Amino acid sequence: MAKTTSFFCRECGFESAKWMGQCPACREWNTFVEEPAGGNTRTQHTAGSRSGRTAGPVPSRLSEISASKEERISTGYRELDRVLGGGIVPGSLILVGGDPGIGKSTLLLQVCRSLSAQGKKILYISGEESLRQIRMRADRIGQMGGELLFLCETCLDVIRDVILEQKPETVIIDSIQTMYREEVSSAPGSVSQVRECTNLLMQIAKGEGITVFIVGHVTKEGVVAGPRVLEHMVDTVLYFEGDRHASYRILRGVKNRFGSTNEIGVFEMRQQGLAEVENPSEFMLNGRPRDASGAVVACAMEGTRPILLEVQALVTQSNLGIPRRTAAGTDYNRVNLLMAVLEKRCRLEMGRYDAYVNIAGGMKMNEPALDLSIVLALVSSLKDLPVDEKTVVFGEVGLSGEVRAVSMAEQRVSEAMKLGFECCVLPKICLDKLEKKVYEGKIRLIGVQNVRDAIGIL
Query: Judged by CB under 6 A, which of 75, 92, 105, 450 binds ligand TYD?
Result: 105
Q: Are strands 403-404 and 396-397 parallel, antiparallel or unpaired?
A: antiparallel
Measured from the CB of residue 224, what is the shortest distance to ligand TYD in angstroms? 13
- Please check whether residue 215 is in contact with residue 175, taking contact to mean a CB–CB distance below 8 angstroms: yes
Distance CA 48, CA 50 (A): 5
Contact window for ligand TYD (CB under 6 A) among 53-61, 224-232, 266-274, 292-300: 266-274
- From residue 163, alpha-carbon distances to 21, 134, 172, 177, 184 in Å are 41, 20, 11, 19, 21
Does position 140 interact with ligand TYD (CB under 6 A)? The reply is yes
Residue 177, interface with Mg ion (CB under 5 A)?
no
Tell whether residue 4 is a contact of ligand TYD (CB under 6 A): no
Instruction: Single out the segment in contact with ligand TYD by CB under 6 A; choices: 45-53, 95-103, 384-392, 445-453.
Output: 95-103
User: Hey, is 161 helix, strand or coil?
Assistant: helix
Q: What does 22-80 look like in DSSP terms, one character per residue? A: B-TTT--BS-EEEEE--HHHHHHHHHHHHHT-SSPP----GGGS--PPPP-B--S-HHH
Pick the piece of the chain touching Mg ion (CB under 5 A) from 101-109, 295-303, 369-377, 427-435. 101-109
**Partners of 148 in the beta sheet?**
122
The distance of closest approach from Cβ of residue 106 to Mg ion in the complex, given in angstroms and rounded to an integer, is 8
Residue 336 CB, nearest distance to Mg ion (Å)? Answer: 39
Contact flag: residue 103 with ligand TYD (CB under 6 A):
yes
Q: Binding residue for Mg ion (CB under 5 A) from 6, 31, 92, 105? A: 105
Residue 177 lies near ligand TYD (rule: CB under 6 A): no
Sole window of 93-101, 116-124, 285-293, 410-418 interacting with ligand TYD (rule: CB under 6 A) = 93-101
Using CB under 6 A as the binding rule, whether residue 211 contacts ligand TYD is answered as no
Of 162-170, 204-212, 265-273, 432-440, the window that binds ligand TYD (rule: CB under 6 A) is: 265-273
* Cβ-based neighbours of 40, under 8 Å, separated by 6 or more: 15
HSE (side-chain half, CA atoms, 13 Å) at 9:
19
Task: Answer yes or no whether residue 137 interacts with ligand TYD by CB under 6 A.
Answer: yes
- SS3 string, 352-389, reads HEEEEEEEHHHCCCCCHHHHHHHHHHHHHHHHCCECCC
Instruction: Specify the residue, 241 or 343, whose C-beta has the smaller distance to ligand TYD.
Output: 241
Measure CA 366 to chain center: 14
CA dist 116 and 131 (Å) reads: 18
178 binds Mg ion (CB under 5 A): no
**Rounded to whole angstroms, how far apart are CA atoms 277 and 267?**
5
Sheet holding 93-98, edge to edge: 148-152, 122-126, 170-174, 211-217, 93-98, 236-241, 248-256, 264-270, 273-276
**Closest approach of Cβ 229 to ligand TYD, in Å?**
19
How many residues are listed for the chain in this entry? Answer: 458
CB of 101 to Mg ion, least distance (A): 8
- Give alpha helix (H) positions in 78-141: 78-84, 104-117, 131-141
Judge whether 409 and 367 are in contact, CB under 8 Å.
no
By CB under 5 A, the count of residues binding Mg ion is 1
Residue 272, contacted partner among Mg ion, ligand TYD, none, CB below 5-8 A by kind: ligand TYD
Looking only at residues 268 through 307 of this chain, which bind ligand TYD when binding is defined by CB under 6 A? 269, 271-273
Binding segment (CB under 6 A) for ligand TYD, from list 97-105, 299-307, 310-318, 374-382: 97-105
Q: CB under 5 to 8 A by kind: which of Mg ion, ligand TYD, none does 100 bind? A: ligand TYD
Return the residue nearest Mg ion (CB atom).
105
Which spans of this chain sit near Mg ion (rule: CB under 5 A)?
Answer: 105
Which spans of this chain sit near ligand TYD (rule: CB under 6 A)?
Answer: 98, 100-106, 137, 140, 269, 271-273
